[in-house]
Amino acid sequence: MVRANNVSLLVLVEPRISGLVAVLVIQKLGFPNSYRVEANGFSGGIWVLWKHDLVVQVLLEHIQFIQLQVRSNQVNFQFTAIYGSPKASLRQSLWDNLCNAAPSIVCPWILAGDFNAILSADEVRGSVVSTRRGYWRYQGCIDQCQLEDLRFIGAQCTWRRGFEWVRLDRALANQEWILSFPSTKVYHLPILSSGHCPLLIEVQFGHYRANNWQPRFQFQSAWLVHSDFANVVASNWQSQLSADVSLKKLSTCL
């Protein structure tokens, strides 16, 4: 799969091996660079492997994620490799850490992996949804971090056990990523030996927006109820500034 898709950065979660055996497996996969959060027996573990065409810096390590700064030519973004705990009580630490990190990330940001959580009952087949409660916390984290679920190609559910099918794996991104890499594609590949289907994320770095990115405009609806809102806008818009500098007019209203 790695060879067929020319993968430059590979994430493996819950590998069930560690130590010297892990080193030998990574060498066999042909990636010269790697970083990993070791598995605890058969539980947990996150591996990130990458080739020489990427410069990767580890910003933060957590038992449920690895935060990376990635550079390739003129491209600069952050990537978070996710392995959410199967226990809802422990996943709260994941949501809290992501929410704490989000305000400081002003560049394109993408997150992908096994979140071990669902966003709605529609993401479960053949199972009692109540067994996977707590997705309102998951949605709250996405909302607070201002992330969007990237559309995918393939089967909806990404994990199976018996007659139970669930979408546990996904890719999320902030608005800066979506604006910078609008052609990003996420594929749910066929399940191989694991119970999870691999996620393949294709990014056309050649379409990267020049001069990095600009912060997106945000409007707070609460401004509308302020007693001076209409007067402030009217007085600034009637200024002597010409129409071709309307952004400057707008900035004087803030």
Along the chain (254 residues), what's the average pLDDT of each consecutive run of 10 residues?
A: 91 90 90 90 87 95 96 91 93 96 96 95 75 77 97 93 91 96 95 89 70 50 70 73 51 59
**Domain match, 141 and 242 both:** no
**Domain match, 142 and 231 both:** no
Q: Which residue has the tokens 């996620």?
A: 199
**Domain match, 91 and 173 both:** yes
> Does a structural domain hold residue 53?
yes
Domain that holds residue 68: 2-207
Distance CA 12, CA 34 (A): 11
**Domain match, 94 and 198 both:** yes
**Domain match, 87 and 112 both:** yes
Q: What is the pLDDT of residue 210?
A: 43
Helix (H, G, I), strand (E, B) or coil at 171: strand
Full-prediction pTM beyond 0.75?
Answer: yes
**Domain match, 128 and 243 both:** no
Indicate which CATH number applies to the domain containing 149.
3.60.10.10
Q: Could you write out the DSSP letters of every residue in 105-116?
A: --S-EEEEEE--
CA-to-CA dists, residue 76 to 56, 110, 145, 213, angstroms: 10, 12, 19, 10
Q: Can you list the alpha helix ranges (DSSP code H) found in the chain?
A: 2-5, 19-29, 88-101, 135-145, 175-180, 229-237, 246-252
**Domain match, 88 and 176 both:** yes
**Domain match, 232 and 157 both:** no
> Does a structural domain hold residue 216?
no
Q: What is the pLDDT of residue 209?
A: 52
**Domain match, 39 and 153 both:** yes
Q: What is the pLDDT of residue 44?
A: 84
> Does a structural domain hold residue 213?
no
CA 65 to mean position of chain CA atoms: 11
> Does a structural domain hold residue 148?
yes
**Domain match, 183 and 236 both:** no
Between β-strands 46-50 and 9-13, what pairing exists: parallel, antiparallel or unpaired?
A: antiparallel
212 and 200 Cβ atoms separated by less than 8 Å:
no
Which H or E element spans position 75?
strand 75-83
> Does a structural domain hold residue 163?
yes
Domain count, the chain: 2
> Does a structural domain hold residue 215?
no
**Domain match, 191 and 231 both:** no
Tally: H helices and E strands in the chain = 7, 15
Nearest alpha carbon to residue 78 among 43, 51, 102, 42:
102
